[in-house]
Chain A
Amino acid sequence: AAGVIQSPRHLIKEKRETATLKCYPIPRHDTVYWYQQGPGQDPQFLISFYEKMQSDKGSIPDRFSAQQFSDYHSELNMSSLELGDSALYFCASTGLAGVSEQFFGPGTRLTVL
């Protein structure tokens, strides 16, 4: 079965650089969620989209922005990167907004040097 795809899987950036993370949800899933997971921590909700519109917002820094495109894939744009942004970034998708399980992608490991 098709799963959530995230790219790149690993990313190394310098401080103050920008990064773009991509997420391709499971086919026919219309809702995408972004989470940030620091080492040894639980995933923290950043932002979500339903039918290409932002549906909820969590602890996402102003330096980050995201959008969902017409093909339902989503991109998380991160600017002025800081050391503290180093983390695993997960994308998850569901077929019905706010209902049932979220299917997580393999994550993008971002390292900021």
Chain B
Amino acid sequence: GQQVMQIPQYQHVQEGEDFTTYCNSSTTLSNIQWYKQRPGGHPVFLIQLVKSGEVKKQKRLTFQFGEAKKNSSLHITATQTTDVGTYFCAGGYNKLIFGAGTRLAVHP
């Protein structure tokens, strides 16, 4: 079945440094979604990418969908302590297949 891999598993950064998490699927994706889960919280939708090569920005967050629609990345510029949490990519149409997530720690 479809598998979604995500790296790195953990990332520790100093506040102000950049952060990137990468997502790879074993099969071509019709779309990819990104979620953020704060410690003790629930996943919160960030964005959905649908088109090959698509790039979307939300303030300091930049999301990319690969040309082959099998990989994606999330880049955060100048991290802040409020960015702390686990970032998940997820593929699938009805049911979401989540990557393992990247846990981001930001040190002030």
Alpha-carbon distance between A56 and B95 when the two chains are bound, in angstroms: 7
User: What is the distance, in angstroms, from B74's C-beta to the closest C-beta of chain A?
Assistant: 15
Query: Taking CB as reference atom, which chain A residue is nearest B97?
Result: A45
Alpha-carbon distance between A48 and B95 when the two chains are bound, in angstroms: 7
Alpha-carbon distance between A107 and B44 when the two chains are bound, in angstroms: 12
Given A48-B95, A56-B94: A42 in contact with B88 (beta carbons within 8 A): yes
User: What is the distance, in angstroms, from A39's C-beta to the closest C-beta of chain B?
Assistant: 12
When each residue 42-83 of chain A gets 1 if its CB lies under 8 Å from chain B and 0 otherwise, what string results? 111100100000011010000000000000000000000000
When each residue 69-113 of chain A gets 1 if its CB lies under 8 Å from chain B and 0 otherwise, what string results? 000000000000000000000101000011011111111000000
User: What is the distance, in angstroms, from B108's C-beta to the closest C-beta of chain A?
Assistant: 24
User: What is the distance, in angstroms, from B4's C-beta to the closest C-beta of chain A?
Assistant: 9
User: What is the distance, in angstroms, from B11's C-beta to the closest C-beta of chain A?
Assistant: 15
User: What is the distance, in angstroms, from A13's C-beta to the closest C-beta of chain B?
Assistant: 21
Name the A residues within 8 Å of B95 (CB-CB): 33, 45, 48, 56, 58
Query: Taking CB as reference atom, which chain A residue is nearest B100?
Result: A42
Name the B residues within 8 Å of A92 (CB-CB): 43
Q: Does B98 contact A (CB under 8 A)?
A: yes
Which residues of B, 1-55, contact A by the 8 Å Cβ criterion?
33, 41-45, 48
B interface residue count range (under 10 / 10 to 19 / 20 to 34 / 35 or more): 10 to 19
Chain B residues touching A, majority SS: loop
User: What is the distance, in angstroms, from B45's C-beta to the closest C-beta of chain A?
Assistant: 4
A43 with B48: CB separation less than 8 A: no
Given A90-B42, A105-B42, A106-B42: A98 in contact with B93 (beta carbons within 8 A): yes
A101 with B96: CB separation less than 8 A: no
Q: Which residues of B contact A (CB under 8 A)?
A: 33, 41-45, 48, 88, 92-101
Identify the 5 closest CB pairs spanning chains A and B, nearest first: A101-B45, A42-B98, A45-B95, A104-B42, A98-B94
- Ordered by A's residue number, 19 sampled pairs between the chains whose C-beta atoms are within 8 Å are A33-B94, A33-B95, A33-B96, A42-B99, A42-B101, A44-B98, A45-B92, A45-B96, A45-B97, A48-B95, A55-B94, A56-B95, A92-B43, A101-B33, A101-B45, A102-B43, A102-B96, A103-B45, A106-B41
